[in-house]
Amino acid sequence: MKIESGDAKLDFKDVLIRPKRSEFGSRSEVSLERTIIFKHSKREWTGIPIIAANMDTTGTFEVYRVLSKHKMITCFHKHYNVEDYPADLDPNYYMISIGIRDADYEKLKVLMEKLNPKPYFLCIDVANGYSIHFLNFVKKIHMEFPQLTLVAGNVVSNEIVEELSINCGVDIVKIGIGSGASCITRIQTGVGYPQLSAVMECADAAHGIACHIISDGGIINAGDVAKALGGGADFVMLGSYFAGHDESGGELIEENGKKYKIFYGMSSDTAMNKYHGGVAHYRSSEGKTVKIPYKGSLNDTVLNVLGGLRSACTYIGARRLKDIPKCTTFLKVSRQVNDSLS
C-alpha cells in the first residue's frame, strides 16, 4: 500500500482563474482558432479545439452538422455501422471512434476504403487505457495507418501519456477517468483522478514530447472549458454539456409539462442492454441514466461556450486561445459562486 504525499489534487470546482490586466477593447478581438501540427501523422489542423464526446447521445451526425460550421470536432460514437456514414463529411471536423476488438479493426479497414475524402482522425477509446492489450492494439493501428492522427485513451498519468506517444504513435491522448457526469467508475471501483490535476500533469508530460491532450470529462459550464485549457489541455471534450438538444441523441420525453431528453453513460445498463444484450456477469455498470432538461438548439449552447471563452480571454489578457495557459493563474477556493438565489 502506498499513499502519495504532496498537495491535494484538484477538480475544476476547486479553482478560479485570477484576472489580469488586459489591453482588449472588445471580446471580438480574441481568436479562438488554433493551428496544430501533429508529430506522428505530420498533419496540420486548424479549428476551435472543442470536441463532442463519442457517446451515442452526443457523437451524432446531427451534432457534427452544427459543430463543423464552427470548425469544432465531433467524435462519432462506436455504434454507427459502416453504411451509416454519409459521403459529405469534412475530415477536419470529425473523428471515427473504435474499441479494440477484432470487429473494430475490421470496421476501420472498411471505413478507410469507403470514406472519401479519407478520415484524418481516429479515436481508439476504452475505459481503461492502462491495459497491455490496448497499448498493443494502438501500436498496431499506427503501424498500419501512419497517416491517421491517432487519439487514444482514457488515462490520467504522465508516464502512460509518454508511452502512448513515444512507443505507440499517438498524437493526442485522452485524459479523464471517472469525471464524467454520467460516470460512476469512482463509486464502483474507487479508481480515478481529479480532472484538473490530471490535465495539468499530463499536459506537462505531453508537451515535452510534442504530443497533445484532450481533457475528457468534468465540464459543467463554459468556465470549466476555460479552466481545462488554462490547465494545458489542447482540446476539451464535452458530453453531458452537449446532450439534451434537438441534435443530440436520446429519447425526448415529457413529464408534468416539462420536456427532457434521456442521457446515459456508455458503460451504463442502458447502453449495455442496447448494444451488448445486457451487462456481462463478470462486470458491473459504471454509468448512469438520467433525464436532462430539454435545451433546444445546440447552436445556442455552442455560441454560449464560445462567448464564455472569449470573455475569459479578455479577463486574463490572452489574445489567442493558444495563449490561455501562459496567462492563467489558478486560485484554490472554497466557494466558486453565490448560489443563494438558485
**Which residues carry out catalysis?**
183, 185
Cell 500500500 found at: 1
* Residue among 197, 155, 187, 194 at smallest CA distance from 174: 155
Q: Quote the cell numbers at residue 135.
A: 497499448
Angle at 258 between CA 257 and CA 263, to 5 degrees: 145
Tell me, what amino acid is at 247?
E
Q: Are strands 44-47 and 50-52 parallel, antiparallel or unpaired?
A: unpaired
Cell 501512419 identifies what position?
Answer: 146
CA distance between the termini of the chain = 43
DSSP state of 177: S
Closest CA relative to residue 40, chosen from 152, 198, 176: 152
Give 224-287 as a DSSP string: HHHHHHHTT-SEEEESGGG-SBSSS-S-EEEETTEEEEEEE-TTBHHHHHHHHSS--TT----B
Give the neighbor-by-neighbor strand order of the sheet with 289-293.
252-255, 258-264, 289-293
Give me Rg for the CA atoms of the chain: 19
Contact between 155 and 177 under an 8 Å Cβ cutoff? The reply is yes
Phi, psi of 39 (to 5 degrees): -60, -45
Burial class for 251, CB neighbours closer than 10 Å (0-12, 13-18, 19+)? exposed
**Distance between CA 33 and CA 135 in Å, rounded?**
31
Task: Please tell me the distance from the alpha carbon of residue 86 to that of residue 75, in angstroms, as a whole number.
Answer: 15
